[in-house]
Amino acid sequence: MSLGVPGAEGAPLLVLDGVTKSFGAVAALRGVRLALHSGEAHALVGENGAGKSTLVKILAGAHAPDSGRMTLDGRPLELRGPADARAAGIAVIYQEPTLFPDLSVAENIFMGRHPLRGLRRIDSRAMNRDAEQLFQRLGVRIDPSRPARGLSIADQQLVEIAKALSFDARVLVMDEPTAALSGVEVERLFGVARSLCERGAAVLFISHRFDEVFDLCQRVTVLRDGAWVSSDSAADLTVDEVVRRMVGRDVSSLYPKQDAPLRDTLLEVRGLSRSGVFSDVSFSVRGGEIVALAGLVGAGRSEVARAVFGVDRYDAGEVRVAGRALPPNSPRRAIAAGMALVPEDRRQQGLVMELSVERNATLARRRALSRLGLLVGGAERAEARIWTRRLQVKAARLAAPVATLSGGNQQKVVLAKWLATEPRILIIDEPTRGIDVGTKAEVHRLLSELAGEGLAILMISSELPEVLGMADRVLVMHEGRVVRELPRAEADETSMMFAATGQGATA
């Protein structure tokens, strides 16, 4: 194991040495070191809670380290705030895009750095033109004068990248930028990252997808429990070795679904259509079965799930639960019929971030837990304890706000919330998005267990290995239609990609 000190490439551009950061009693980072070289893409991997996000926040100037040194070009670097980081040429693309929904795309890119004309007024024509040029460099079409509200997550990510490009970042930090992107979009992003590298920038890339890590990066640093484990050339590493270092033990990164006896059809969807979004979607899910909805981002998978659950309206078709028609537009009736939806965007749709773990975990069960219309704390706590223990949620206290948990643990709380309603049908959208390998395996094992107990599970996933490992049947969507249905035996990466890109429909 090498020591992460400057190698043959010469002096590093940005160095962190012995960086420590604690939040209260919890040590998030303990003496972490990192050396980023100009022209090199460097991967930072580690389980959730390993301290990656804290490290990113320190590089972004949002957190000040408790101790340790940072140098840029050999000179000491002190970041008193995000403005300092920006001035030093450090651009950060966060996992969750941080845009201003009310402002135009161009303004989002140039906020605080608008091009000016006379009297220091903003030159909006130049601003829109510059934004247009950035998008041309990225090879995408986004109207710079439209508001950021309503952009897809992939497009939001592109705006963030344009922002980073716009101030000629010397260090580009990308915190799981690909979690919401489809294959084509990831390729485009990597193209931009590589061209930045060629121009002498250093890239720090954080991802849970190892194929991407090895595709893009020349060097890999592993963190575990807030401590530095290793920094090596990517060529000297294998995926298995990286995973072993991340978790400190051997795990099978994917937990294949156990065969469960198939029971009666629980969920049946017939001819579901919504004008312009999806059309004529039909499928059924039996108890004990996991059916995956696969396809590219934007193919309409989440929209179908939301319509089935009654959050969104649909124009035609019907949804039947255990043979009985479910009225449209009523999540209440869907819940009463035994349906649960674990949404894709857990921060916005799955959790109340300011509320405690126990409140969140029991949110969908308020009625059942209340006595005479009052919620007694004890009942919530007892219920929450059962589920957080079963799902092994790692939280300091059950009364701690959910916002303080790591991404993987937040996802477990969302799961706990819905499992507490004892559903018969579980719809789960991107169950392991942004979750580390260890927790991923736990979630997979749990889903397999639930199917074994007779639940019908509809899973939406953009990760092919997950779909292939977990699903009994795969429905591939393309532009709002189910174009292929593949039983487990026939599903493989090639057949799915063909269908998802619209080429398999005729085959």
The binding site for another protein (CB under 8 A) comprises 60-62, 81-86, 92, 94, 98-104, 106-107, 111-114, 116, 120-122, 124-125, 127-128, 141, 143-147, 149-151, 275-277
User: What is the C-alpha separation between 234 and 215, in angstroms, rounded?
Assistant: 10
* Minimal distance, residue 204 CB to another protein, in Å: 17
Give φ, ψ of 379 to 5 degrees: -65, -45
Q: Are strands 219-224 and 202-206 parallel, antiparallel or unpaired?
A: unpaired
Minimal distance in Å, beta carbon 311 to another protein? 15
Q: Which is nearer to another protein, 5 or 83 (CB)?
A: 83
Least spacing, CB of residue 184 vs another protein, in Å:
16
Q: Which is nearer to another protein, 67 or 98 (CB)?
A: 98
User: What's the Cα-to-Cα distance from 364 to each of 266, 304, 331, 367, 405, rounded to whole Å?
Assistant: 21, 22, 11, 8, 20
Q: Which residues contact 437 (CB under 8 A, 6 or more apart)?
A: 47, 208, 243, 246, 247, 251, 253
Q: State in Å, rounded, how far the first CA of the chain is from the last one.
A: 49
The residue whose two tokens read 């619209």 is 502
E strand or H helix at 366:
helix 366-369
Residue 395 Cβ vs another protein, minimum distance, rounded to whole Å: 22
**Residue with smaller CB distance to another protein, 86 or 208:** 86
Six-digit token pair at 448?
A: 């397999």
Q: Specify the residue, 38 or 104, whose C-beta has the smaller distance to another protein.
A: 104
CA distance 399 to 24: 16
Q: Which two tokens stand for residue 357?
A: 């773990």
Q: Which is nearer to another protein, 94 or 418 (CB)?
A: 94
- If the CB atoms of residues 268 and 303 are measured against another protein, the closer one turns out to be 303
Q: How far is the CB of 42 from another protein (least distance, A)?
A: 22
Q: How far is the CB of 248 from another protein (least distance, A)?
A: 32
Q: Within 10 A of 67 (CB to CB), how many other CB atoms are there? A: 11
Taking the least distance from each CB to another protein, the nearer of 140 and 262 is 140
- Closest approach, Cβ 313 to another protein, in A, equals 13
Nearest approach, Cβ of residue 275 and another protein (Å): 7
Q: 84 or 449, CB closer to another protein?
A: 84
Smallest gap, in angstroms, from Cβ of residue 82 to another protein?
4
Least distance to another protein from the beta carbon of 128, Å? 6
Contacts of 130 (CB under 8 A, 6+ apart): 106, 109, 110, 115, 166
What are the tokens at 264?
Answer: 């009666």
Pick the closer one to another protein by CB: 109 or 337. 109
Q: Which helix (H) or strand (E) holds 43?
A: strand 41-45
Pick left, alpha or beta for residue 302 (phi over 0 → left; psi -120 to 50 → alpha; otherwise beta): alpha
3-state SS record for 172-193: EEEECCCCCCCHHHHHHHHHHH
Of 94 and 228, CB closest to another protein: 94
The nearest distance, CB 50 to another protein, in angstroms, is 21
112 versus 378: smaller Cβ distance to another protein: 112
> Cα separation of 311 and 303, whole Å?
9
Both tokens assigned to 259:
């065969």
Question: Which helix or strand (DSSP H or E) is residue 473 part of?
Answer: strand 473-478
Radius of gyration of the chain (CA): 24
CB of 176 to another protein, least distance (A): 16
Task: Give the C-alpha separation, 28 to 23, whole Å.
Answer: 7
Beta bridge partner(s), residue 227? 30, 224
Closest to another protein by CB, 113 vs 332, is 113
On the 0-12 / 13-18 / 19+ scale of CB atoms within 10 A, 214 is middle
Amino acid (1-letter code) at residue 97: P
The residue with tokens 């789960």 is 428
The neighbour count for residue 105, using CB atoms within 10 Å, is 26
